């Protein structure tokens, strides 16, 4: 499904980017369809081969939001405190619902079938470049975050298998073997053969949630485990840092185009039902895993909640195994989008290049750079927070700017006030994440 962000109908990997950069897909001016609001089909063109129903569309969008990074959510609850977690989830959930609805409307009105194409149409070359860079950072960050999880999960599994560990059980060797094994798969130019990963991804996330929730019920229901300190209140400036990580988890905007274009008989009302159902299921999963993990481990959480379980905890071993298999199968997925967005930026700035040479060098660079960062970075939560700045831009800043630019009327008109509010929250969130990271670097947290 990822390839539809830049392409439709499974064309050659880089051809549609060449078309966008050369202007073949953006020079046409479309008059907005006056009937393109309300309960009408405005997204799918007449020749669309859309075949997905409501439940399959919901699953596709849900699979894009859910990820292995659910293991970081208990740490976000630790940063925010239980009292702030609920309103934060609701606020960012509403912002996600509103911006996804805006993208659906703009896509139909202006006949643009991808996120980057709509960015170039509405915000010009600067918007297109920013969108490509954010897509690169967001997906490259996802790959690196997952390698960080692999670097802690697999050694724990190996220690569980044998009581005689070797140097090959270390994080460094595990990451090296993972990248060497999956680097050849990352060179494939089509990812349609990896669709089974969608089911595996959702299943593994729910296994982790089930494990954490079950252990919480056992410890608090039967073993009378005490609540952690500062259960309700946030920790100093930590809530600002958590906003980046939460935004990172919510963002699915770049892939939403492929979901509503594949939804047979899609209308604005039906698309809204898909989004609301998806967000409801997602928030339920995050809340169960997040609050349960925080109740179990409190301030001892270090980013990946599974690291807090004993190496010999059988039920946690199952979760580690499921999550590790999912991540290892996802490496080719996460390489695909950074490679495409990098090609888009390079060819727009420097003109035509050798596709074969670029494909080889870009794939190698993406995998090796993620490997090196994962080798030397231990704080998964802090890394997710910083990559969250790109997520905030993709999910909340760029969509609102596109709506303000394309919708008729003055920028400060009444129908645009909600978009202004989301834009301001998005910008403040990004500044808060960066400010919190700088403060933490120089020891100014409270």
Q: Is 167 part of any domain?
A: yes
Q: Is 372 part of any domain?
A: yes
Which residue matches tokens 């006030």?
A: 417
Domain of residue 409, residue span: 2-25+50-441
Alpha-carbon distance values, 415 to 231, 403, 407, 411 (Å): 40, 11, 9, 9
Q: How far is C-alpha 272 from the geometric centre of its chain's CA atoms?
A: 20
Q: What is the pLDDT of residue 441?
A: 61
Q: Is 38 part of any domain?
A: no
**266, 76 contact by CB (below 8 A):** no
**128, 348 contact by CB (below 8 A):** yes
Instruction: Count Cβ atoms below 10 Å from residue 54 Cβ, excluding itself.
Output: 16
* Interatomic CA distance for residues 334 and 69, integer angstroms: 14
Q: What is the pLDDT of residue 382?
A: 63
**105, 42 contact by CB (below 8 A):** yes
Residue ranges in the chain modelled with pLDDT below 70: 1-50, 163, 165, 167-168, 185, 188-198, 221-239, 329, 331-332, 379-386, 437-446
Domain count of the fold of the chain: 1
Q: What is the pLDDT of residue 34?
A: 41
Q: Is 41 part of any domain?
A: no
Q: Is 39 part of any domain?
A: no
Q: Is 32 part of any domain?
A: no
**321, 353 contact by CB (below 8 A):** no
124 φ/ψ sector (left φ>0, alpha ψ -120 to 50, else beta): left
* Interatomic CA distance for residues 388 and 23, integer angstroms: 31
Q: Is 31 part of any domain?
A: no
Q: What is the pLDDT of residue 389?
A: 86
pTM for the model? 0.80
Q: Is 446 part of any domain?
A: no
Q: Summarize pLDDT for 289-298 with one digit per residue, the tens.
A: 888 888 888 7
Q: Summarize pLDDT for 357-387 with one digit per residue, the tens.
A: 888 898 889 988 888 888 887 766 666 666 7
298: domain CATH number is 1.20.1740.10
* Interatomic CA distance for residues 203 and 63, integer angstroms: 10
């Amino acid at each position: 499904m990822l390839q539809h962000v830049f392409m439709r109908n499974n064309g050659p990997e880089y051809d549609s980017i060449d078309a966008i950069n050369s202007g073949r897909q953006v020079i046409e001016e479309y008059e907005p369809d006056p009937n393109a609001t309300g309960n009408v089909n405005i997204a799918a063109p007449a020749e669309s081969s859309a075949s997905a129903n409501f439940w399959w569309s919901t699953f596709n969008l849900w699979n894009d939001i859910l990820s292995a990074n659910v293991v970081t959510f208990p740490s976000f609850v630790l940063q925010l405190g239980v009292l702030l977690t609920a309103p934060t989830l609701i606020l960012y959930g509403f912002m996600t619902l509103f911006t996804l609805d805006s993208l659906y409307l703009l896509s139909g009105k202006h006949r643009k079938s991808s996120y980057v194409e709509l960015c170039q149409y509405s915000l010009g070359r600067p918007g297109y470049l920013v969108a490509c860079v954010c897509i690169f950072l967001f997906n490259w960050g996802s790959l690196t975050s997952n390698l960080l999880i692999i670097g802690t999960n697999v050694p724990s599994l190996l220690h569980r298998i044998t009581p005689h560990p070797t140097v090959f059980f270390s994080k460094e060797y595990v990451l090296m073997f993972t990248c060497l094994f999956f680097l050849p798969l990352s060179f494939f130019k089509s990812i349609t053969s990896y669709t089974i990963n969608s089911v595996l991804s959702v299943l593994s996330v729910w296994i982790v949630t089930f494990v954490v929730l079950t252990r919480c019920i056992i410890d608090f229901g039967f073993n009378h485990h005490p609540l952690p300190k500062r259960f309700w209140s946030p920790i100093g400036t930590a809530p600002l840092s958590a906003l980046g990580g939460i935004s990172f988890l919510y963002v699915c905007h770049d892939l939403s185009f492929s979901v509503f274009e594949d939804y047979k008989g899609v209308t604005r009302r039906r698309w809204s039902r898909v989004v609301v159902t998806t967000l409801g299921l997602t928030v339920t999963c995050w809340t169960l895993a997040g609050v349960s993990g925080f109740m179990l481990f409190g301030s001892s959480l270090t980013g990946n909640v599974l690291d807090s379980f004993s190496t010999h905890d059988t039920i946690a071993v199952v979760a580690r195994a499921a999550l590790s298999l999912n991540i290892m199968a996802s490496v080719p997925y996460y390489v695909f989008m950074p490679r495409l967005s990098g090609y888009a930026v390079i060819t727009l700035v420097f003109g035509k290049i050798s596709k074969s040479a670029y494909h080889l060098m870009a794939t190698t660079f993406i995998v090796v750079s993620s490997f090196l960062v994962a080798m030397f970075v231990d704080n998964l939560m802090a890394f997710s927070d910083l990559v969250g700045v790109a997520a905030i831009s993709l999910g909340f800043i760029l969509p609102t700017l596109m709506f303000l630019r394309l919708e008729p009327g003055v920028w400060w008109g009444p129908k645009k006030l909600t978009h202004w509010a989301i834009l301001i929250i998005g910008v403040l969130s990004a500044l808060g994440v960066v400010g919190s990271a700088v403060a933490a670097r120089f020891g100014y947290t409270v």
